[in-house]
Amino acid sequence: MPDSAILLIHCPDRKGIVAAVADFICRHNGNILHADQHQDASLGLFFMRVEWDLGGFDLDLADFAAEFEAIAREFRMRWRLERSSARPKAAIFVSRHDHCLADLLYRHRSGELACHVSLVISNHPDASDLAGFYRVPFHHVPVEPGNREAAEEEQLRLLDAHGIDLVVLARYMQVLSPAFVARYPQRIINVHHSFLPAFSGPRPYHRAFERGVKLIGATSHYVTNDLDEGPIIEQDVVRVSHRDQLEDMVQKGRDLEKVVLARAVRWHALHRILVYANKTVVFD
């Protein structure tokens, strides 16, 4: 795959944005590989993702901001530039349920995820052997009543030591503090075992079973200080019936959890997500 640059743009909608961006890339001898856009008519906003081959591109990316500033100012853009060859470093947090962890580690080893899984952190020792099988460093950081602050300090020390860019909560059954979340804004992805906003919080499968639902789901989202209220990245559902017992729903739901979390991690690593108004635009 060619080394490419990826520009993500979020600004008020108006004429001429696409033309201005394409012309800028063309003037510097860039060959556009992918381009996608979206308009939110209700809020008057425009979103764009454009990716171009860096072979022959005559502008050093270190100088991109200065050269692009005039266009960004004219269209009041919020933007960021990424490079496809720069793989983010990820840490996976897990508790006792390790199905999402196992799925992510397998996908990582098989090359499906454009990131480096640098370590696994857990408040239980159970997943140590699984991480060891994939040769990923494992760290057991217990979280007991009254020691959450100390536990998070140790977790953050580990993340800093490994230069972590992305935190993935693979059924990590602890609530992160506002201070922790603030360290990784829009860089903490959680999977919730429910089709949010239905059945947020604990024991969603039990509540869904008691309610007699005909569909159950799973949701991946960015973490904010509001529990299970962060911008949704991906969701999926499966049909259930009166014949399904609680254990059947849990089993079916776990398959969904693995898929929606893997998709969210993949799209984040490929720089396909823009966040606004507690929502996301996911460019396919």
Positions marked active-site:
228
**Strand runs labelled E in 193-242:** 215-222, 232-239
Give the β-pairing of 279-282 and 273-276.
antiparallel
Q: Report residue 144 as tokens.
A: 């007991």
For the four alpha carbons of 44, 50, 56 and 57, in that order, the dihedral sign comes to positive
Contact 122, 137 (CB under 8 A): no
Size of the chain, expressed as the number of residues it contains: 284
- Does residue 81 contact residue 6 with C-beta atoms inside 8 Å? yes
Say if residue 200 is exposed, middle or buried (CB neighbours under 10 Å; 0-12, 13-18, 19+).
middle
Q: What is the DSSP letter of 88?
A: P
Helices assigned H by DSSP within the chain: 17-27, 64-74, 99-109, 128-133, 148-161, 178-183, 204-211, 246-269
Q: Name the DSSP class of 277.
A: T
